Chain A
Amino acid sequence: MKESRSAFFAHHDPALIDKIRKAVVSIAGAGGLGSNVAYSLARVGIGKLIIADFDIIEISNLNRQQYFIDQVGQLKVDALKHNLGKIQPFSEYIMHNIKIDEDNISQIFGEADLLIEAFDKAVMKKMLIEKWISLFPDKPVICASGLAGYGRNDIIGIQKIDNLYICGDQISETSGSISPMAPRVGIVANMQANLALEILFQDISAGSCNENID
């Protein structure tokens, strides 16, 4: 196990490994955004992921969420923990089967270096952002807004306001005719994950454009 753990990290820049292992990232939601963010951060090897969701997997979720047809009916947090463990078992995955509200944000997510907002409903996004900013003004929160439909890669961007980051196009709303689809949800989720790494590693100069990738 120890050998495979070292082998898992063999391709990383050694300067990053300590940061990666000590990092704690909270993810609010385990749907299209959250499951994709979790997959990427687990593959990076982030030391601890704290993930909260209260939903059960439905067959309609499989168009964009990182679950499998034999997991339909399971709690998302249980299925995601299982799937992340199959990717790599060297990180800690702390799962909470709970609906997040203003009163439990601090207790559930407060330990993290940063929070990734991965909710579906705008009203929940707003609640989470406003509460996090007031609780932890110095800890970054990375949100997603505007990711429904397909195409239009070029209008997906990032807005930064102090420690609040918004990934997405801030236009495309999920509605009857425009549903979220795997590629665009995956792009925005991975922008969130990528931005999380940039923030976690910001004081390491070797970071973002490593020329020694083989």
Chain B
Amino acid sequence: MKILIKVNDNPLEWEKNMTIDTILKKMKYSFKMLVVKVNGELVKKSEFGNFIIPEEADVKVIHLISGG
């Protein structure tokens, strides 16, 4: 059976050794300035390539866009 994670409440299939970079690519999130939380924990940009996403993770990605 497929294991799913949630990315901004959208289901995405979990893969072994999945990282935040994997998710951003799959979701086609191309903005540069992002704040990412995995199960409520803030993940810094320097960790995007090696933070391993656990099964059934709740991932939130916020796009920060200039303008104010």
Contacts and interface: CB of A to CB of B under 8 A. Distances in A.
A126 B67 contact: no
B68 A118 contact: yes
Interface string B21-64: 00000000000111101001010100000000000000010111
B68 A146 contact: no
Contacts of B35: 126, 129-130, 164
Interface residues of B toward A: which range?
10 to 19
Contacts of B32: 122
B38 to A, nearest CB: 11
Contacts, number: 77
Contacts of A123: 33
Interface of B: 8, 32-35, 37, 40, 42, 44, 60, 62-68
Interface of A: 29, 31-34, 118-123, 125-126, 129-130, 133-134, 143-148, 159, 161-162, 164, 166, 168, 170-174, 180, 185
Given A122-B33, A146-B67, A174-B66, 4 more contacts: A32-B67, A125-B64, A148-B65, A162-B40
26 contacts: A32-B67, A120-B67, A122-B32, A123-B33, A126-B35, A129-B62, A129-B64, A130-B42, A133-B42, A134-B42, A143-B62, A145-B64, A145-B65, A146-B63, A147-B68, A148-B65, A148-B67, A164-B35, A164-B37, A164-B62, A168-B65, A170-B62, A170-B65, A171-B63, A173-B67, A185-B67
